[in-house]
Amino acid sequence: KNQVEQSPQSLIILEGKNCTLQCNYTVSPFSNLRWYKQDTGRGPVSLTIMTFSENTKSNGRYTATLDADTKQSSLHITASQLSDSASYICVVRVSGTYKYIFGTGTRLKVLA
Amino acid sequence: DSGVTQTPKHLITATGQRVTLRCSPRSGDLSVYWYQQSLDQGLQFLIQYYNGEERAKGNILERFSAQQFPDLHSELNLSSLELGDSALYFCASSVVSGGGSTDTQYFGPGTRLTVL
């Protein structure tokens, strides 16, 4: 069964600290993996998109990694800011289809 | 501001009723996607249109339907509404069809539907 699991479910960190969010998937065949940031009550915003051949991709303080062999991805946030408080959602697309499998997200709270 | 607009922002209706949600994609985007986000199930892909044609279906109920018009705006019709249909409904758009490509999807602000 195609699934995307994210951990932790929630995370609290102090401003300025780094953190890493995890995404494990069982989606096959794999097309690409996306990370979104979603502020409460607002639409998701795309952070990174990675294909099978990409191991890492950065977007400012956000760096995503992908290990297609172990079917794991991580999102690393450097020098966190209060504005990073949001839900982070991992999405995997099934190759050969237009189907997207969403993780349930990690809710991050950054404290001053 | 993503450039994707959705109306209305909020909608309150009763069970058994029918509603229509509207989405205008970013200028130049040909693909429109609809998603449902409820508290207990997270984001779910419903359906995609590309240049007026249905391209993909996800977990869309038979009571729900959508279409994309020649001016590329899209409407999501929800009928015989049930309490469980209460959710945030997002529309997203992208330039290309979304085939195997890594096209970025830009999400609108969403419509919050409450079914009483």
pLDDT for B76-98, tens place per residue? 999 999 999 999 999 999 987 65
Q: How many CB atoms lie within 10 A of CB A3?
A: 11
Instruction: List, for residues A37-89, the tens digit of each pLDDT value.
Output: 999 889 999 999 999 889 999 999 999 999 999 999 999 999 999 999 999 99
| Nearest Cα residue to B33 out of B61, B58, B14 | B58
Interface test with B, best of A32, A34, A98 (most B CBs within 10 A): A98
Q: Count of A–B CB contacts within 8 Å?
A: 51
Task: Confirm or reject contact between A87 and chain B (CB < 8 A).
Answer: no
| Nearest Cα residue to B74 out of B99, B98, B46 | B46
Q: Are B104 and B87 in contact (CB under 8 A)?
A: no
Q: How many CB atoms lie within 10 A of CB A79?
A: 10
Under an 8 A CB cutoff, do B45 and A100 touch?
yes
Whose tokens are 């892909």? That residue is B45
